[in-house]
Structure 1
Amino acid sequence: GEMKSGRDATQVRKSLQLLETAAKGTDNLMPYILSAVKSYATLGEIADVFREVFGKHTETVVL
Structure 2
Amino acid sequence: MNILIISAAGPISRKVTERLLNETDDRPVLFDHDAKNRLLNYKDNNQVPITAFNFLDGNSRGTLMKVQDVV
TM-score by length of 1: 0.36
Q: Which has the larger radius of gyration?
A: 1
TM-score by length of 2: 0.33
Give 1 or 2: higher helix fraction. Answer: 1
